[in-house]
Amino acid sequence: MTKGEETSNEALGPVSLSDLERFCREVLAAAGADDATVDAAARAMMHGTRLGVDSHGVRLLDHYVTALTHGRVNPRPHLELTHESGAIATLDADNGHGARAAYYGMEQAIRLAGQSGIGAVAIRNSSHFGPAGAYALAAAEAGLIGVATCNSDSFMRLHDGAAPFHGTNPIACAVPSGDNQPWLLDMATSAITYNRVQLYKSLGQELPEHTASDAEGQDTRDPEAASMLAPLGGSQGFKGAGLAGLVEIFSAVLTGMRLSFDIAPMGGPDFSTPRGLGAFVLALKPDAFVDTATFEGGMARYLEVLRSSAPRSGASVMAPGDREWAEAERRIREGVPLDPATSSAFARLAETYGVALPRDA
């Protein structure tokens, strides 16, 4: 794409990953974000887009600019560790961008784990942080096991419920695997995420079965009619609802932040008031528990047997993260398609801030 190109009703692209990141960074900076916020927000969005998690990738840029320029998110926060004792700390994010808070929180958790073998950081006064896996992966890239959670505004019903209760409440864990890509689990505790509903809406596609409900709590595949999400697990959705509660406790109760049903909706209409989200990150140093050779050997053996396990007819067996790593390699080679809503938003942002649109791959 080039600046000034007409928008269309179809997905555009593929566009270059590197130039896509350039566009995001320039727009965020032009919108008033400080360097650390630009770096964190762009890094998190590009993690989602590169790995094919488009619901939590660059399509969030327009939303983030709105939040940064209307008062919901502090574009130049002063992050502060308000409490530290042994292996734990509490971080006040000063209503900054959630990615800024989560990356910094994980940096501190890694530091604490270097001293004690384990580091845990409760994050207060944060905001939407995008892909939870980005922060868990930051620990794995440093050779540690990373865990990240965050709650969000109510959009998921309880099992057999007919009203929104929990947020999508993601949980992610990343584990280093020698010279190979980390084992990476990144999941919402809802059947799908709110942003994936928005993506299906933009693409004009039906939702998967048993993933969303209408205003009466009945299943719907129409993204326009989706008033709430189903918990992970379908007919066994009590498991997803229970996991969402676990995330709620770690992210909100333990941090003293707002519970999901007390958080202002992500989609507005109020974009001037901070939402008061909580998050929680954890880093574990493997050799604090077992020698390095034993840990690496155990991971290698586990993944080798997992990936060679017999698949069902017409299917394949993958470890958590395998699909994402394969998609990342493809997108590095071929570029990234942009859905219609994202393409239209990018055109508006380019015009507003005088930034050239990302180039074709």
The helix (run of H) or strand (run of E) holding residue 284 is strand 277-284
**Contact between 345 and 357 (Cβ < 8 Å):** no
| pLDDT given for residue 306 in this prediction | 97
Domains in the chain, CATH or no CATH each: 12-291+337-353 (3.30.1370.60)
| pLDDT given for residue 236 in this prediction | 86
| DSSP per-residue string spanning 166-217 | E----EEEEEEETTEEEEEEEE-SBSS-HHHHHHHHHHT-PPPTTSEE-TTS
**Contact between 336 and 48 (Cβ < 8 Å):** no
- Phi, psi at residue 34, to the nearest 5°? -75, 170
- Phi, psi at residue 43, to the nearest 5°? -60, -45
> Which strands form 156-157's sheet, in the order they lie side by side?
164-166, 156-157, 228-229, 212-213
Query: Pick from 87, 102, 24, 23: which is nearest to 61 by CA?
Result: 24
- In Å, what is the CA distance from 307 to each residue of 42, 200, 303, 328? 32, 31, 6, 19
**Contact between 103 and 283 (Cβ < 8 Å):** no
| pLDDT given for residue 4 in this prediction | 35
Query: Pick from 36, 45, 35: which is nearest to 358 by CA?
Result: 45
pLDDT tens-place values along the chain, 361 residues long = 433 333 344 556 799 999 999 999 999 999 999 999 999 999 999 999 999 999 899 999 999 999 999 999 999 999 999 999 999 999 999 999 999 999 999 999 999 999 999 999 999 999 999 999 999 999 999 999 999 999 999 999 999 999 999 999 999 999 999 989 999 999 999 998 887 888 898 889 999 999 999 999 899 999 999 999 999 997 789 999 999 999 999 999 999 999 999 999 999 999 999 999 999 999 999 999 999 999 999 999 999 999 999 999 999 999 999 999 999 999 999 999 998 999 999 999 999 999 999 988 7
Measured CA to CA, the distance from residue 223 to residue 196 in angstroms comes to 9
| pLDDT given for residue 12 in this prediction | 66
| pLDDT given for residue 11 in this prediction | 55
Query: Pick from 46, 321, 57: which is nearest to 202 by CA?
Result: 57
Tokens found for residue 190: 């809802």
> Which strands form 171-177's sheet, in the order they lie side by side?
80-85, 88-92, 118-126, 277-284, 145-150, 171-177, 180-187
Q: Report CA 184 to chain centroid distance, whole Å.
A: 13
**Contact between 210 and 191 (Cβ < 8 Å):** yes
Measured CA to CA, the distance from residue 87 to residue 110 in angstroms comes to 10
